[in-house]
Amino acid sequence: MGNHARVAVITGGTAGVGRATALHFAQEGFDVAILARGEEGLSSTVEELEACGGRVLGLAVDVSDAAQVERAAEQVENRLGPVDVWVNVAMNTVIAPVSEMTADEYKRVTDVTYLGAVNGTLAALKRMQPRNRGTIVQTGSALAYRSIPLQSAYCAAKAALRGFTDSLRSELIHDKSRIRLTMVHLPGINTPQFEWARNKLSHRVQPVAPIYQPEVAARAIFDAARRAPREIWLGKATLQSILGNMLFPGMLDKLLAKQAYSGQMTDEPESPSRPDYLYEPVENLHRTHGRFSENAKNKAISVDSHMVGVTVLALAGLGIAALTRGRKRHR
């Protein structure tokens, strides 16, 4: 790599978690390429990142188009050098009951949120495999494990991404590859997507509480890129959702049926004429934070998934040991 800094690619890098992540990598001394659809968002993000002193490349890309992603990856390596870290953040969603969704809406959310990450992964692998090094970070969600009502398209796409990632990870292990693959599962984040998302509900929507600032997610994603644990579960609610769904899925079905409708809606009526980002970028909203900063937390617990397994096994072992001792005493 000569004197070049390390290179990171961030998809969906002009707003929310993607923009916060791109900025964090730039602040850590990386040269950064951001892939997103809107020229306005690209321009303002490139300007913000260039203030960190490194090289920055903004490329207009719809990640659902594999050919566009492949061309962008080629441009990144030609202009910045070999990609060390590729972070798939780009997503979109439609918030509506299943009965009000259309087949085209499901396809579009899947094309961007799931297949967009697959396209990014394939482009990264094509370049990393001959070098036998590099790190791919998938941005997941608590909803990849525990679906909630009104977000069927997004939940399904994130669950699909987790399935794809698990399969690829086993293949990389089989091939004794030194390419690292990691996934960060996020809680509710204060991003502008709640102004952008297609919303068929009567009221404006909000993240499921507790809500965290995008910088919390960015720090976790950078940590994942640095250490490459199997998965990071970010935030207490993520931990509770994943473990709760493993232990009490039926109970959670009923709990979410009661609480998740009102929990995702504010008291403000939605404007039926507001633009959304499903097919075209929305201008004038490319910023890091959403409108929930007053209630958003700046810190969250971060747990490596394998440590949860070790802890659960240890607790189970202690429980079995206690039962065994109790039986011995009663003999």
Q: Which amino acid is at 27?
A: Q
Give tens-digit pLDDT for 250-306: 999 999 999 999 999 999 999 988 899 999 988 777 899 999 999 999 999 999 998
Q: What token pair was written down for 223?
A: 């940590």
Q: Does some domain include residue 276? A: yes
Give residue 286's pLDDT: 81
321 domain-assigned = no
Tell whether 148 is covered by a domain.
yes
Residue 300: strand, helix, or coil: coil
The reply to whether 311 falls in a domain is no
Cβ–Cβ under 8 Å, residues 277 and 197: yes
125 belongs to a structural domain = yes
Host domain of residue 36: 6-300
| Cβ-Cβ contacts under 8 Å for 97 (sequence gap 6 or more) | 149, 150, 200
Identify whether the C-beta of residue 88 lies closer than 8 Å to the C-beta of residue 117: yes
The model's pLDDT over 25-64, given as tens digits with 9 standing for 90+, comes to 999 999 999 999 999 999 999 999 999 999 999 999 999 9
The residues, any chain, with a CB within 8 Å of residue 64's CB and separated by 6 or more, are 108, 111, 112, 115, 116, 119
Nearest-5° Cα angle at 123, 192 to 157: 45
Question: Is 210 exposed, middle or buried, given 0-12, 13-18 or 19+ CB atoms closer than 10 A?
Answer: middle
Within 162-305, strands assigned E span 180-186, 188-189, 198-199, 203-205, 211-212, 231-234, 265-269, 296-297, 302-304
Q: Which two tokens mark 59? A: 């490329």
Q: What's the confidence (pLDDT) of residue 2?
A: 44
User: Which residue is listed with tokens 């109790």?
Assistant: 326
Select from 241, 154, 162, 255 the least CA-distant residue to 205.
Answer: 154
Distances (CA, A) of 243 to 150, 257, 258: 22, 19, 20
> Which residues are tagged catalytic?
154
Token pair 């900063």 is found at 293
If one counts the domains in the chain, the total is 1
φ, ψ at 149 (rounded to 5°): -65, 155
Residue 63 lies in a domain: yes
CA distance 324 to 330: 10
Segments of the chain with pLDDT less than 50: 1-2
CA distance linking residue 49 with residue 54, whole number of Å: 8
Please report the pLDDT score of residue 284 as a whole number: 76
- Asked whether residue 326 is domain-assigned, the answer is no
CATH of the domain at 294: 3.40.50.720
Residue 315 lies in a domain: no
pTM of the complete model: 0.92
289 close to 190: Cβ distance less than 8 angstroms? yes
